[in-house]
């Protein structure tokens, strides 16, 4: 997992690349580096943040119109200067940046060592560029042909960009399983892992497909595949504004994205839902809608926060569509020989649309005849292209590593799909259908109201910022919210936290509860309310400190809980979109008070594009 940026054109390459790397730093940030053609092919790299690299460049002449840059999230080799990208070839005539994992690098490396190659790093990426150069020399072929031949021999995933000391206008890029996008300007080209570094300069892009090679030379872009078959670049127009990837006055991207949720949920529904007219239209699931309506079961594959959204969707779909749902960790799905029948429906959920485990799960399911519905945020992403049909969340760029607005946007899409299916199947009454359409349309205003609790939640955070453990409890639709709240706290504050179904507390976790254990209970008014009240009593009896998220106007739980956070009254089935808001804010403020890097928590990267 990493961020890739490259440039060729009339601008100063290092300025474009450094700015782009900062925009991509959420994808990986244990080291960074650039390579420039400036009196030779020179590489500058440094362990740490992009700012550490930038400070290290002050004493160098960086004048160059071509360059490649990289931020790293370590896979092979610890984070240090040597393992940082870019990497030289054996002769130092070539340099590479690489995202992904070359699985057969060890055998390739031994073969190259036997030929006299020496390596400066522990990375598979350095082996990759040595291998490409070795092929070029032994076959006396062009660099792009050497890249093509190498790609037929390596096993694994990659997004690469290569530059050559001998060709000052040449960049060669390729991808398989890791994203790469090419921005097209006037007499200039930009390459990046996603569009965020590009949008400042151009809105015309080409998304590379798997097994595709891009050759940029003398202001011309050519594409071919690893079978040496040329193709015509398909130029798309980006629907993204520069302001969307700036902090906009907020201290952190995460806080900005939490507060963007009323808008992101509304954007997700715009043009799709009109409660007054009873209209719900999802053009992205039109062709295969009957497959979904007649499905015997639905399998949801996802990771992390998207998996939690899938769990909420399981409750919603089964409640209203009466279709059995299985929610699977994409990372485990393909390793247990799952039973998939032709015609099974698989929902693949991913914010980035590039999650490697989810993509692998999709390919397995497709190979067995399943119908894939993708739910993702990034237009043109790999999951969007690999799916038969699906829907974008339209949440806008999410830069903070800890996902927030993606969760509520995914729930919006999943709920709309479920409501449409239920209505067409006749498994929901007209009255209930229209009630939920109205309620869904009102969710943005309720989220807006929940966000006004920020000062209260900040005060609670001050009290618990030094806690060593947290327990989160929920039942029914709010059980996945408990999991999500615990995940958010773990991700950005490094406090150990666990989410549980409230009734399961008695089956083990209750042993942990004492006067030092904060217990967050989602106790909104729903069908499980009386049971959750009993769970709160059990926590109190063991001197646990209860932070309760309740429905506005609740008169009972405030008599029991030490801290109460009131959220607007919301239909039980849609409450997760509101009850999650205080948990997002709680994790954010605790992390800030602990001095943690909220947007770039240690060891994590935004887009998990390697297994």
Lowest mean pLDDT segment, chosen from 309-313, 435-439, 532-536, 550-554 = 532-536
Q: Average pLDDT for residues 87-94, to the nearest whole number?
A: 95
Sheet holding 518-522, edge to edge: 496-501, 469-474, 518-522, 545-551, 563-567
Q: What is the pLDDT of residue 41?
A: 95
Measured N-to-C along each axis, helices 304-321 and 479-493 cross at an angle, to the nearest 10 degrees, of 170
Q: What is the pLDDT of residue 27?
A: 62
First-to-final CA distance of the chain: 9
* pLDDT over threshold 60, residue 319: yes
CA 497 → CA 159, 470, 472, 606, distances in Å?
35, 5, 7, 20
Contact 107, 58 (CB under 8 A): no
Q: What is the pLDDT of residue 187?
A: 92
User: Could you give all domains of the chain from N- to C-terminal order, each with its CATH number?
Assistant: 2-243 (3.60.20.10), 452-611 (3.40.50.10490)
- Reduce the DSSP state of residue 303 to 3 states and report it: coil
2 tagged catalytic: yes
**Mean pLDDT estimate for the chain:** 90
Q: What is the pLDDT of residue 505?
A: 74
* pLDDT over threshold 70, residue 606: no
Contact 578, 567 (CB under 8 A): yes
Taking the C-alpha atoms of residue 579 and residue 412, their distance in angstroms, rounded to an integer, is 14
CA 193 → CA 3, 179, 183, 223, 311, distances in Å?
6, 5, 11, 18, 29
Active-site choice (46, 49, 488, 606)? 606
* pLDDT over threshold 70, residue 245: no
Dump pLDDT digits (tens) for 505-524: 778 777 778 778 899 999 99
* pLDDT over threshold 70, residue 306: yes
Taking the C-alpha atoms of residue 281 and residue 56, their distance in angstroms, rounded to an integer, is 53
Dump pLDDT digits (tens) for 187-210: 999 999 888 889 889 989 999 988
Q: What is the pLDDT of residue 359?
A: 86
* pLDDT over threshold 60, residue 541: yes
Taking the C-alpha atoms of residue 337 and residue 264, their distance in angstroms, rounded to an integer, is 37
Q: Average pLDDT for residues 527-547, to the nearest whole number?
A: 85
* pLDDT over threshold 90, residue 74: no
Active-site choice (2, 303, 321, 596)? 2
Lowest mean pLDDT segment, chosen from 27-41, 91-105, 468-482, 569-583 = 27-41
| Residue 522, φ and ψ in degrees, nearest 5 | -85, 105
Confidence tier at 605 by pLDDT (50, 70, 90) = low
β-sheet bridge partners, residue 176: 158
Q: Average pLDDT for residues 414-438, to the nearest whole number?
A: 95
pTM: 0.79
141 tagged catalytic: no
Q: What is the pLDDT of residue 28?
A: 57
Confidence tier at 244 by pLDDT (50, 70, 90) = low
Taking the C-alpha atoms of residue 174 and residue 121, their distance in angstroms, rounded to an integer, is 22
* pLDDT over threshold 70, residue 353: yes
| Residue 158, φ and ψ in degrees, nearest 5 | -160, 145
* pLDDT over threshold 80, residue 483: yes
């Amino acid at each position: 997992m990493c961020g890739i940026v490259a440039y060729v054109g009339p601008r100063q390459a290092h300025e474009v690349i450094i700015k782009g790397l900062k925009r991509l730093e959420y994808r990986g940030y244990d080291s960074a580096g650039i390579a420039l053609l400036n009196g030779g092919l020179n590489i500058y790299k440094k362990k740490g943040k992009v700012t550490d690299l930038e400070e290290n460049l002050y004493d160098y002449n960086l004048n160059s119109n071509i360059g490649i840059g990289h931020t790293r999230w370590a896979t092979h080799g610890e984070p240090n200067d040597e393992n940082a990208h870019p990497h030289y070839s054996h002769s130092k005539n070539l340099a590479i940046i690489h995202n992904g994992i070359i699985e057969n690098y060890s055998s390739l490396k031994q073969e190259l060592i036997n030929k006299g190659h020496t390596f400066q790093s522990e990375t598979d990426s350095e082996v990759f560029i040595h291998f490409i150069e070795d092929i070029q020399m032994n076959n006396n072929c062009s660099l792009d042909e050497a890249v093509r031949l190498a790609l037929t021999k390596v096993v694994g995933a990659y997004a690469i960009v290569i530059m050559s000391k001998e060709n000052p206008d040449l960049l060669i890029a390729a991808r398989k399983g890791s994203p790469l996008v090419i921005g097209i300007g006037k007499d200039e080209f930009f390459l990046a892992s996603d569009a965020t570094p590009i949008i400042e300069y151009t809105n015309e892009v080409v998304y590379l497909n798997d097994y595709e090679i891009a050759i940029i030379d003398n202001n011309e872009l050519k594409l071919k595949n690893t079978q040496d078959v040329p193709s015509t670049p398909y130029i798309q127009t980006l629907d993204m504004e520069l302001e969307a990837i700036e902090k906009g006055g907020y201290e952190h991207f995460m806080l900005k994205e939490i507060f963007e949720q009323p808008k992101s949920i509304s954007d997700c529904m715009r043009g799709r839902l009109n409660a007054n007219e009873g209209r719900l239209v999802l053009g992205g699931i039109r062709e295969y809608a009957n497959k979904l309506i007649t499905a015997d079961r639905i399998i949801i594959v996802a990771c992390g926060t998207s998996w939690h959204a899938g769990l909420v969707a399981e409750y919603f779909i089964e409640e209203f569509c009466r279709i059995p749902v299985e929610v699977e960790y994409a990372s485990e799905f393909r390793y247990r020989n799952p039973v998939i029948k032709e015609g099974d429906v698989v929902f693949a959920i991913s914010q980035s649309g590039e999650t490697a485990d989810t993509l692998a799960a999709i390919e397995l399911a497709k190979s067995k005849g399943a119908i894939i519905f993708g739910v993702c945020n990034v237009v043109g992403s790999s999951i969007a292209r690999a799916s038969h049909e699906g829907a974008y969340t339209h949440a806008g760029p999410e830069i903070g590593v800890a996902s927030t607005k993606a969760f509520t946007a995914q729930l919006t899409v999943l709920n709309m799909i479920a409501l449409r299916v239920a209505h067409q199947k006749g498994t929901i009454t007209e009255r209930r259908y229209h009630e939920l359409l109205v309620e869904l349309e009102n969710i943005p205003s309720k989220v807006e109201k929940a966000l006004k609790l920020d000062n209260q939640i900040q005060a609670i955070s001050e009290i618990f910022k030094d806690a060593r453990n947290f327990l989160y409890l929920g039942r029914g639709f709010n059980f996945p919210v408990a999991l999500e709240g615990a995940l958010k706290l773990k991700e950005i504050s490094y406090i150990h936290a666990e989410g549980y179904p409230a009734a399961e507390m008695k089956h083990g976790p209750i042993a942990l509860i004492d006067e030092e254990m904060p217990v967050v209970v989602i106790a909104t008014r729903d069908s499980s309310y009386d049971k959750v009240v009993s769970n709160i009593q059990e926590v109190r009896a063991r001197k646990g400190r209860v932070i309760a998220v309740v429905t506005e106007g609740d008169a009972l739980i405030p008599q029991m809980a030490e801290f109460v956070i009131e959220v607007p009254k919301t239909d039980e089935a849609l409450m997760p979109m509101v009850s999650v808001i205080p948990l997002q804010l709680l994790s954010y403020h605790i992390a800030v008070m602990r001095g943690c890097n909220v947007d770039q928590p240690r060891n994590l990267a935004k887009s998990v594009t390697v297994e």
